[in-house]
A and B are shown apart, each in its own frame.
Chain A
Amino acid sequence: MSRSSGKGADRVFSAVMLACALSIFGIVLFILYILILRSKLSISQFGFKFFTRSAWDPVSGDFGAFPFIYGTLATSFLALLMAVPLALGVAVFLTELCPEKLRAPISFVTELLAAIPSVVYGLWAVFVLVPIMRDQLGPFLAKYFGWTGLFGGFNFGVGLLTASIILAIMILPIISSITRDIMLAVPISQREGVLALGATRWEMIRMGVLRNARIGIVGAIILGLGRALGETMAVTMVIGNHPEIPKSLFAPGYTLASVIANEFSEATGDLYLSSLIEIGLALFLVTIVVNAIARALVWAVTRGAPARAH
């Protein structure tokens, strides 16, 4: 049996496969390279102050990205505030409390939630959520919680709060499904050990499962944060797209991803475009770091078993 031709072909084959695998590094490096290259202009013009200044005047060529950073962080954290408790509740329900027969349909439904495209969420938000916010939820909040100072100003339905709500709905599935994976990775022996001491079911979940899973759950939450930071379409459609720091939850804002989506294709002038690309660079770097931290945490708990493509 002639093996020499097999060996040569083997080497070529594995080289090709390796090249494709390395292309993943190539993609990351290429994106980094091209973003840095094309944002050189605004980097040299504004320096790091670009991210601490509040200005956005394409006419005079003055650009400062701070309002977008504020908007991104504000919507993301508000969304996390709303989504995390719910996601944990669903994860606990599905892994520990749900009757066998309901488990598949309900988890299927949460998977469907994750599959809905951003633009469709945006469409629904524009025509359903915005009117609710303008006519019902907004006035309710202003009336009973106006004393907090968060609900002042005009309420047109679009703004920080609306964007945060739709964002919360969108990041919920990923936080929930990863939390479920992590909870399922906790061995039964831990659960039984707690039960055998005379614990109620909730105490068993708290001490035997959640406690062991907490590092991974933090990872899941950070993954949700990563998603929220980069979410573009739905947020753009309901945040109001106003480059100023919002003074109330009803006020319009702007996020890093939204300004790119809105203004990129009509950006005139090299500095304008370069500033937008620099924002893209910031978004790229931040989401990479956040996702890397999150994945590392999740990996630490599940010990590197191939993660489902989330």
Chain B
Amino acid sequence: MGTNSLHTPPPPQESAISRAPIERQSRRVRLNRARRYLWNHVVTGLAILSTIVVIAPLVAILVYLIYKGTSSLNLAFFTKIPAPVGEPGGGMSNAIVGSGIVLALASLLGIPVGIAAGVYLGEFGRGKLLAGAVRFTADVLNGVPSIVMGIAAYALIVVEQKHFSAFSGGVALAIMMVPTITRTTEEMLATVPHAIREAAYGLGVPKWRTVLSVTLKTASPGIITGCMLAFARVAGETAPLLFTAFGNQFWSFKLNEPIAALPLQIYIYALSPYDEWHRLAWAGSLVLIVLIMASVTLVRIYANRGVLKGAS
């Protein structure tokens, strides 16, 4: 208690802001306030408007896709290979299978490396400078255009083998999967409560065993989700396959030959002058989108439930 030495002068007669009660507020502040409320409404309106403008293309694309795609989808689409140019009928079964093969290869190569890198970041590298650098590089690598990966795979494999191949396509996509899976794995491992690890250490379980049998197992739903996301992302990629997998009008199951892939085929058909091929492109897009959206939705559902699970 006690006064301090600062003398607080009484407020000057003409105060900067009128101290009159609200009913007699100075006209200027009142007008100003009216302007502020107006501006508030304008901005709110603009925000709502932008949201609508953003949602609209998506709805338009989806609706159009479904409309065009479903009318083109038939059993033949899934069972037949493309008919000769100009002839009706035919399907994209070889492209679907081809995509499956290339993606399987990419997953085989990319998922283990990605998860292992994520394990390093999450379990061994916490706080270390190296881990930070790896993390940063992974994020930056995610932003590199996918066509560059295609060039790299081309230069590495296609040039040496002197032909296009499913293998080179798989490698290109694997390179893309690694950074994504690394980051999501790290994130998922971070959600595992430290108490679980400590319990294992306390029982004398060596670190490598703990990571494999305990930590990874606990985080596995989330990690699988991350892999699915990466899978969905590369499933739609066309650019890296343009000069690696290259495409194929016929069935191909050999890794050393060019192979068809769904997005690649859609691209070729979209730019062709034949209506029949346009029809197939729409159908293919619908199939692609349904698969991708299914993954994204599953991920979302899991994420909403998983957060609660991890916290318990």
Contact = CB atoms under 8 A, between A and B. Distances in A.
A–B touching in complex (CB under 8 Å): yes
Interface of A: 1, 3, 5-7, 9-10, 12-14, 16-25, 27-28, 30-31, 34-35, 37-38, 85-90, 92-94, 97, 106, 108-113, 115-124, 126-128, 169, 172, 176, 200-203, 205, 223, 226-227, 229-233, 237, 257, 260-261, 264-265, 277, 280, 283-284, 287-288, 290-292, 294-295, 299, 304, 306-310
Nearest to B131: A21
Contact of A227 (B143, B209, B232, B235): B143
A37 B265 CA distance: 31
Given A109-B58, A115-B232, A169-B57, A21 B117 contact: yes
A261 B242 contact: yes
Nearest to B140: A291
B39 A24 contact: no
A122 B270 contact: yes
A119 B242 contact: no
Most buried by A among B155, B229, B233: B155
Given A17-B119, A17-B123, A233-B238, A10 B206 contact: yes
Contacts of B123: 17
A24 B51 contact: no
Nearest to A128: B64
B50 A86 contact: yes
B163 to A, nearest CB: 12
A116 B148 contact: no
B43 interface: yes
B277 to A, nearest CB: 12
Contacts of B293: 112, 115
Interface residues of B, number: 102
B271 A287 contact: no
A309 B184 contact: yes
Given A117-B238, A231-B145, A1 B140 contact: no
Nearest to A260: B147
Nearest to A31: B152
B39 A118 contact: no
B48 interface: yes
Interface string B184-210: 101100100000000000001011110
Given A89-B47, A201-B44, A291-B139, A123 B282 contact: yes
A110 B288 CA distance: 18
Nearest to A230: B145
22 contacts: A7-B206, A9-B206, A20-B116, A21-B121, A25-B137, A38-B159, A92-B43, A94-B51, A97-B47, A106-B51, A115-B232, A120-B285, A124-B64, A124-B65, A201-B44, A202-B44, A227-B143, A233-B267, A261-B239, A264-B243, A291-B140, A309-B226
Contacts of B114: 20
B288 A27 contact: no
Contact of B263 (A94, A117, A126): A117
B260 to A, nearest CB: 14
B168 interface: no
B124 to A, nearest CB: 5
Contacts of A121: 61
A85 B50 contact: yes
B165 interface: no
Contact of A257 (B47, B125, B145, B300): B145
A27 B40 CA distance: 50
A166 B238 CA distance: 17
Contacts of B48: 93, 97
A260 B238 CA distance: 13
B134 A21 contact: yes
Given A24-B179, A120-B65, 20 more contacts: A6-B209, A17-B123, A21-B117, A21-B125, A28-B137, A89-B47, A106-B55, A111-B296, A116-B58, A116-B61, A119-B266, A201-B44, A202-B44, A226-B143, A233-B239, A257-B147, A287-B148, A306-B190, A307-B183, A309-B229
B51 A90 contact: yes
Interface of B: 36-37, 39-40, 43-44, 46-51, 53-55, 57-58, 60-61, 64-65, 112-114, 116-117, 119-121, 123-125, 130-149, 151-152, 154-156, 159, 175, 178-180, 182-184, 186-187, 190, 204, 206-209, 211, 226, 229-230, 232-233, 235-239, 242-243, 246, 263, 266-267, 270-271, 278, 281-282, 285, 288-289, 292-293, 296, 300
Given A23-B178, A97-B47, A123-B270, A14 B113 contact: no
A232 B237 CA distance: 10
Contact of A119 (B47, B180, B207, B236): B236
Contact of B138 (A24, A97, A117, A261): A24
Contacts of A127: 270, 278
Most buried by B among A169, A280, A307, A309: A309
B246 A265 contact: yes
Nearest to B278: A127
What 5 A-B pairs have minimum CB-CB distances, sorted nearest first? Answer: A117-B236, A89-B50, A230-B145, A6-B206, A20-B116
A270 to B, nearest CB: 11
A265 to B, nearest CB: 5
Given A17-B120, A21-B117, A89-B46, A280 B147 contact: yes
